[in-house]
């Protein structure tokens, strides 16, 4: 029950964040991703690219429709994530994650990340709560609420 509640709080927080930060990227968000097409990916990290202008987290995953594949998930720029507590090894190859995000408009297995939830329930709020954050922190005040998450800030 507690876990369910954490998910709800996390989700509400993410919704607020998405509204506030769409299109804050080094590029136009709308040209590449479709915020009306959310995706949830459950799987295992296969590759991490801590690179500019965006980080990429590759994951062997199953989407909400049960379809499996290897996805590239775009995260925020390293400088912004770093200031918010991320490190190059915050997510590692082999980590089990649940990623929420927006699908690419071109239909490829490409998404823009909103959040990463680790196997132990920590909601890595894409740069806001930092890797030590919990699901509850993701959705409530303080660090989680002012977020510029995995979605890329303009840089």
Task: Report yes or no: 91 and 117 within 8 Å, Cβ to Cβ.
Answer: no
Q: Which stretch binds another protein (CB under 8 A): 9-17, 19-27, 60-68, 90-98?
A: 19-27
Angle made by CA atoms 92, 104, 64, in degrees to the nearest 5: 70
Q: By C-alpha distance, which of 42, 106, 116, 108 is closest to 81?
A: 116
Q: Among 28, 36, 66, 92, which residue sits at the site for another protein (rule: CB under 8 A)?
A: 28
51 binds another protein (CB under 8 A): yes
Q: Among 7, 11, 32, 46, which residue sits at the site for another protein (rule: CB under 8 A)?
A: 32
49 binds another protein (CB under 8 A): yes
Q: By C-alpha distance, which of 77, 88, 103, 83 is closest to 24?
A: 77
The residues that touch another protein, with contacts defined as CB under 8 A, are 23-28, 30-32, 49, 51-54, 56, 74, 77-80, 82-83, 87, 104-106, 108, 110, 148, 153-155
């Amino acid at each position: 029950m507690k876990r369910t509640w954490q998910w709800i709080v996390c989700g509400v927080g993410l919704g607020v964040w998405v509204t506030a930060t769409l299109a804050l990227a080094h590029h136009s968000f709308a040209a590449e991703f479709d915020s009306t097409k959310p995706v949830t990916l459950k799987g295992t990290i296969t590759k991490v690219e801590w690179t500019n202008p965006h980080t990429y987290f590759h994951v062997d995953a199953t989407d909400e429709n049960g379809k499996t594949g290897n996805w590239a998930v775009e995260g925020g720029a390293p400088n912004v994530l770093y200031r918010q507590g991320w490190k190059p090894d915050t997510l590692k190859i082999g980590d089990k994650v649940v990623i929420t995000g927006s699908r690419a408009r071109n239909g490829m297995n490409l998404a823009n990340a909103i959040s990463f939830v680790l196997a132990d329930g920590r909601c890595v709020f894409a740069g806001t709560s930092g890797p030590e954050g919990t699901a509850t922190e993701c959705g409530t005040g303080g660090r989680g609420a002012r977020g510029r998450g995995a979605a890329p800030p303009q840089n």
